[in-house]
Amino acid sequence: MRVAGIIATVGVTLGVVLGFWMTLPRIAGLGLTDRNLFFHVPMWFAMYAMMALSLWWSGRYLLRQDLESDRRAREAAVVAMFFGVLGLLTGILWSRVTWAAALPDSDWQAWWGWDPKQTFALIALLVYGAYFFFRQGIKDLRSRAQLSAAYNVLATILVVPLTFFLPRYLGGLHPGAEGSPAFRTEDISNLHRVVFYLSAMGFIALAVWVWLVRVRLSRLEERLTTAQDLPAEAA
């Protein structure tokens, strides 16, 4: 936890400071908005990392049936959703100034253009977010953990084609889509790469640190609840 905190502090701080103040070569068609590369993409990286972690612990629960694995999977999924929402919001702001600069703020299409990457990213978050509603509907701890773990595995697997393969083959304005010339490997300078890797490392470490904090708080919450229930049971 301490190591994750140190890496997060150094990485995110350097990413923010260098991302805003460092002189970088311009990427054609993006202007100064290319600085969002150091925030938007690392947030998605952090989301994917936490989804993978949640998938690991869900799989572990299905194999070992221990509630601690369910706790870790649940808290990793919470952090994954948090960074996923941040990634979606920063993506909306980025598209606003690069794809729809001519539209007024009052036009909703200025904020959401139904680009395949945007749309499938939203669908992926809704599919993954259903995990939490699924948990709320089951009262028995073991049944909830079992069914939630199975759904988590399915939802995480679906995120990959929804955010990687389908947008790439359907095309669109988002970098990386078929026919989109922006953000090719040759368009990004080595300075961009240095700041990006520092920021990505920092955001992933921050996600891990938040996850560890949430796991500890969940354990403490459980102990306090158990301690409060003991006098009532004794009576």
In a domain? residue 90:
yes
Mean pLDDT, the chain, integer: 88
Band (pLDDT 50/70/90 cuts) for residue 180 is very low
In a domain? residue 234:
no
**What is the three-class DSSP state of 1?**
coil
In a domain? residue 186:
yes
| Predicted local distance difference test score (pLDDT) of residue 230 | 64
Band (pLDDT 50/70/90 cuts) for residue 165 is confident
| Whether residue 181 has pLDDT greater than 50 | no
- Residues 187-219: pLDDT tens digits? 678 888 899 999 999 999 999 999 999 999 999
| Predicted local distance difference test score (pLDDT) of residue 185 | 61
| Whether residue 25 has pLDDT greater than 90 | no
Per the structure, the complete domain to which residue 136 belongs is given by 2-229
Number of domains the chain is built from: 1
The percentage of residues in the chain with a pLDDT greater than 70, rounded to a whole number, is 91
- Asked if 86 and 41 count as a contact pair (C-beta separation under 8 A), the reply is no
Burial of 206 (0-12, 13-18, 19+ CB in 10 A): buried
- Asked if 46 and 206 count as a contact pair (C-beta separation under 8 A), the reply is yes
In a domain? residue 103:
yes
| Whether residue 124 has pLDDT greater than 80 | yes
| Predicted local distance difference test score (pLDDT) of residue 97 | 85
In a domain? residue 235:
no
Tokens of 23: 């002189």
- Asked if 96 and 111 count as a contact pair (C-beta separation under 8 A), the reply is yes
In a domain? residue 214:
yes
> What are the C-alpha distances in Å from 162 to residues 56, 153, 225?
20, 15, 40
| Predicted local distance difference test score (pLDDT) of residue 184 | 58
Band (pLDDT 50/70/90 cuts) for residue 16 is very high
In a domain? residue 43:
yes
